[in-house]
Amino acid sequence: MTSPRVAYLNARLLDPASGLDTHGALLIEDGKIVDLGADLFKDGAPSVSKVVDCEGLCLAPGLVDGRVQLREPGEEHKETIETASRAAAAGGVTTMVALPNTTPVIDDVSVVEFMHRHAKEAGAVKVRCYGSVTRGTKGEQLTEMGLLAEAGAVAFTDGTRAVANTMVMRRALSYARGFGLMIAQHPEDPQLANGGVMNEGEIASRLGLGGIPAEAEIIMVERDLRLAELTGGRYHAAHISTRGAIDALRRAKAKGLDVSCDTAPHYFALNESAVGDYRTFAKVSPPLRSEDDRKAVVEGLADGTIDMIASDHTPSDQDSKRLPFSQAEYGVVGLETLLTLTLEPFHNGALTLLEALAKVTANPARVLRLDAGQLKRGAPADLVLFNPNTPWRIEEDDFHSKSKNTPFDSRPVQGRVIETIVNGRSIFRMKTA
């Protein structure tokens, strides 16, 4: 049975992968894009089952979120694949890639299969997953990366834990290279970070909180880049937050190393002052940094050093966050605010609209080697319809996520998801008054 032909008319078509930015139409059939462009249907109305008038709004590839904690299996009271899928759909995310920090850890083929099976049952967005670099993410014994990749793992990371042992990291990069796989690192030296809960500096001293120096990230990135050069392996640095690390990655790319990196919205939208008077919803790992570091992240996005933006979605229940700062859990939710916060550098003039969208569509798809993030004939019809200029206020009570831990509550923003489409099927439509 074939699915209906659906035509999206009067749309601003945006495809960062090809540089397309034109007013036109797009045709979907059987879950695929069959045609698009400025001249499509210019001679008359199409013969289709459904016509959607986009009224000049932006139609772009659905977002690819390359760093998400789903909490399932093991911590379903914080989030499930189903609730995260609903949150993703509301945020224009059509593909999300889950970290392996679950219980059990994604270090076995059976857990990869569980993730994919439950994602299909949720029936919303597409879910892919990382395999862990080491068994149990303990940083000691390498996993069977080849078997995990065959089962569907797209890359390998120990998630929220750094692979701290230098020899283990060297072996991981070498082993992964044999399969053409990528190692993604949480770049934070655990010895330097030990005892710290926020950025080291004046604010931490004033609050009496243990600090994590920028060097904890910088040293780990510089070590890993040396190992990537030594082994020829594919290396990715996650949620980069410091000027020093960005500079190191910029130099590595100039040398031609096969390296990439991402950041999260809170690292270019906030700085350490957001901690305020022990505000635990601003407690993240790595910590919010100085204003100079925040500016460096924006610069890294603008010059292409930072390839992609991931939500770093880390749902935490109230009991985990409403604790003294030193005891509270790290992390923020981010699926539902990924697009609107990614648009802030565009509205501020640091990025063009296509450049901003590339960070959450074509680039993560390229880095993770996914069939996603493009508007082209034959591609999956994973789309987001949005208005980049709609003003609104983030309200945590409106989140679809099971957890509400966001530092952006009540923040005025611009850019709103109107509709999200996966495989040609509308899975989210913004309610109108």
Sign, CA dihedral 162-165-168-169, equals positive
What whole-number distance in Å separates Cα of residue 29 and Cα of residue 345?
A: 35
CA distances from 13 to 4, 118, 351, 363 (A): 21, 33, 18, 18
220: how many CB neighbours lie within 10 A of its CB?
24
3-state secondary structure of 67: strand
Structure tokens at 218: 């910088």
Structure tokens at 129: 């997953």
48: how many CB neighbours lie within 10 A of its CB?
16
What whole-number distance in Å separates Cα of residue 364 and Cα of residue 61?
A: 12
174: how many CB neighbours lie within 10 A of its CB?
16
Q: Smallest Cα–Cα separation from 106: which of 79, 130, 122?
A: 130
- DSSP-derived pairing of the beta strands 20-29 and 6-15: antiparallel
How many whole angstroms from its chain centre is CA 126?
13
Catalytic residue set: 312
CA distances from 414 to 40, 51, 354, 367, 393 (A): 30, 27, 16, 28, 8
Structure tokens at 82: 């189903």
Give the contacts of 352 (CB within 8 A, at least 6 positions apart): 346
